[in-house]
Amino acid sequence: MDYKVFLVEDEIATREGIREKVDWKSAGCEFCGEAPDGEMALPLIETCKPDILITDIKMPFMDGLQLSRIVRKTTPSIKIIILSGYDEFEYAQTALKLGVTEYLLKPISSEVLTGALQRITTLLDEEAEERNSYKQLQEDAKENTVHLREKFLLRLVMGGVSSAEVIEQGRQLGLDMIAPYYLVLLLKIELCDERVPFNFHVYQRVEQVILNLIDSIPDVLFTKKSLDEFVFILSGEDPEQLRQLGIYWTNLIKQEVGSTDVCKMVVKMGSPQQRLGDIHHSFAEALIGIEHADENPQSLDPLKNADQVKLLKLEHPALENYLKFGDVQEYDEFFAAYFQPINENALHSDVVRNYLLVDILLTITQFLSDLGIDREHEPAEIRDIEKLLENGASIERTNEVLKSIITNAIKVRGSQAVHERLLLIQQAKAYIDQNYSDPDLKMSKVAEKFNLSSGYFSLLFSQNVGETFRDYLNLLRINHAKELLRTTNLKCSDIACRCGYKDAHYFSTIFKNNTGFTPQQFRAQPQKKTG
C-alpha cells in the first residue's frame, strides 16, 4: 500500500527538489500535493487527506508548527516531518510536544528524506496491522458474546437455572433480565415439500430478517433452538399488554418473513409468566402449540396450550419428600408411582418429555440449592442436560438420566448430612473445651445449645468422637488438672474448682481413677526430662 504525502514549503527550489528527486515509490509513498504555506495547505490537506505531512518550520502567513498543531487536531493519525534550518532546542521541543514524527535539519538530501519516509511507512504498516488485529479481536469478542447470549437464553427457556443466576449471568452478558412479566414466542420454518432439497439460504434469510426486526424494537431477546426454530423472549408491564405484544410480534414476523412455495412460517406463543424461573412454562406452551399447529393453524391464543401444560404438571411435594427422606433403593417404586398420572402416549412426545424433564430438574436444582450445593458441584447430568434436550432422547434414555440424577441428589443429601453432623460435633467440642471449668456443664445443656435432644446428641457424640460425653469431659478436666499440678503451687481444692469440680474429694477420686495417683502423689512424682 502506498501512503499519500503532502509537502508544504515556501522556497520554490526546495519544494521542487523534494518533489522531483525523492523516490516516492521506493519509500512506499505517493506524492499527492503541495503548498507554499500553511494557510494555503489546509484546504488542500482536507481534500486529499494525506497520511504523511512534510512541512517547513519557517513560512509566511502560517508556519509549520501552527499548521502541525491544527492538522494534529483534525487528523490525529497523520505523521508529520518537520524541515528546519534552525538547530535550536526550543523548536525541537515544541515539535515533540505536537507529536511530530521526524525533525530533519536543512539542507536535506533526498536519501535522508527517503530514509525518514521509509521509517514512517514501516510505522504506518505496523499501526494498520494493529488496527486490523484489534478490529478482528473486537469482531471475535462480539461473535463470542452473541454465542454466549444464545446459549444462555436457550438454558433459560429450557429451565433449570435459578433466578439469581439468570440475573447475574444476564448482567455479565449485557442483558437486563428484570421485568414484571415475560412471554415466549417460537417460530419454526417448515418445508412445504419434504422432497425439496435442503436450502440453507432460506434459513439464513429468515434469521437476517428477524435480526433486523429485533434491532428496531426493544425488550425482545432472541436465540435459536435449532436451525429451523427461533425463540423470542418478550417482556412487558402487565399480562394483557404482553399478550397483545405477542400477537403483534407474531403477525409482524409472518408479514416480514412471509411464506413461499418452498417453506412456511409457524409462530406460536406461550402465556405471560411473572417469574424468571417460570419462563420455561411459556416456552413449553409455545412448543406444544408448534407441535399441534396443523390441528389449529390459525389460533394465536396460548390458553389451550397452557391448559395442556397444566395437565402435565407433576406433584412437586411428592418429589420433594422423596428427595428429603427417600432411599436410593426405593427409586423404581417411587418412579412408577410418580409418573402413573401421565398418559403413556403423552410420554412419547419429545415436547412433553422435555417439559417434564425440565420441571423435575427445577425441583431437584432447588433442593440441592437449599442444601447449599453450588452449581459446580451438582451432578454432572444436570450440567449437561442441554445436550439431552437438544439431541432428543427415548423414554428409556430419559428414565436412565432421571434415575441417575435423582439417586445422585440423594447421595449428595447423605454426604451433606454427614458433613453437617461432623461440623456440629466439632462446634460442640469447641464449646465444651471453652466451658469445661463450669461445674454445671452437663450434656443436656450442650444438647440444648445446639437444638438437639439429649438422647440424639449423646448418640451423635459417641459415634463421631469415639467416647461418651462424660468420658470426654472428665478427660479434658483431668488433663488440665495435671497441668496445674505440675506448673503451680495451688491447693488441690483450688485446682478442683478451676477444673469444674465442686467437691475436692470427688475430684481426687476421679483423678486417681484416670491416672492411678491421687493429686498429691501425682505432684510428688519426678517429672520426666525432655529434649
pLDDT tens, the chain, 531 aa long: 789 999 999 889 899 999 998 989 888 999 999 999 889 999 999 999 999 999 988 888 888 888 888 998 888 889 999 888 766 666 667 777 777 888 888 888 888 999 999 999 999 998 888 888 878 777 766 667 777 887 888 878 877 667 788 888 888 888 888 888 999 988 887 766 666 665 667 677 777 777 777 766 666 888 877 777 888 888 888 888 888 888 877 777 777 766 556 667 788 888 888 888 788 888 888 887 777 666 554 444 444 444 444 444 556 677 777 777 778 788 778 777 776 555 454 455 555 566 666 667 767 777 777 666 655 555 565 555 555 555 555 667 667 777 777 887 777 777 666 666 777 888 888 899 899 889 888 888 888 888 888 887 888 888 778 888 888 998 999 999 999 998 888 898 999 999 998 888 888 988 998 888 899 988 888 765 544
How high is the pLDDT of residue 310?
45
Question: E strand or H helix at 309, and its extent?
Answer: helix 303-312
What 8-state DSSP symbol labels residue 421?
H
How high is the pLDDT of residue 89?
60
In total, how many domains does the chain have?
4
* Shared domain check, 307 and 164: yes
* Shared domain check, 166 and 299: yes
How high is the pLDDT of residue 418?
62
- Identify the residue whose cell numbers are 492538522: 71
d(CA 41, CA 60): 12
* Shared domain check, 177 and 305: yes
| Final residue of a structural domain among 312, 335, 369 | 312
Tell me whether residue 67 is in a domain.
yes
* Shared domain check, 323 and 304: no
Of 146, 3, 7, nearest in space to 67 by CA: 7
Tell me whether residue 191 is in a domain.
yes
Distance in angstroms between the alpha carbons of the first and the last residue of the chain: 83
Question: E strand or H helix at 225, and its extent?
Answer: strand 220-226
CA dist 46 → 6, 38, 41, 70, 72 (Å) = 11, 12, 9, 11, 12
Tell me whether residue 460 is in a domain.
no
How high is the pLDDT of residue 343?
45
Tell me whether residue 52 is in a domain.
yes
Cross-strand pairs, 390 = none
Tell me whether residue 142 is in a domain.
no
* Shared domain check, 287 and 164: yes
Tell me whether residue 444 is in a domain.
no
* Shared domain check, 325 and 302: no
How high is the pLDDT of residue 45?
92
The CATH number for 36's domain is 3.40.50.2300
Write down the H helix ranges in 436-489. 443-449, 454-465, 469-487
What 8-state DSSP symbol labels residue 203?
H
* Shared domain check, 325 and 278: no
Q: In what order do the strands lie in the sheet with 102-105?
A: 29-35, 3-8, 52-56, 79-84, 102-105
* Shared domain check, 422 and 289: no
How high is the pLDDT of residue 309?
46
* Shared domain check, 254 and 232: yes
* Shared domain check, 94 and 176: no
**Quick one: three-class SS letters along 475-529?**
HHHHHHHHHHHHHCCCCHHHHHHHCCCCCHHHHHHHHHHHHCCCHHHHHHCCCCC
The CATH number for 266's domain is 3.30.70.1120
The CATH number for 483's domain is 1.10.10.60
* Shared domain check, 105 and 204: no
Are 395 and 354 in contact, with CB atoms under 8 Å apart? no
Tell me whether residue 137 is in a domain.
no
Tell me whether residue 443 is in a domain.
no
> Domain residues for 268?
159-312
DSSP-assigned states of every residue in 353-408: HHHHHHHHHHHHHHHHHHTT--GGGS-HHHHTHHHHHHH---HHHHHHHHHHHHHH
DSSP-assigned states of every residue in 337-350: HHTTTS-HHHHTSH
* Shared domain check, 506 and 420: no
How high is the pLDDT of residue 5?
93
d(CA 277, CA 265): 29
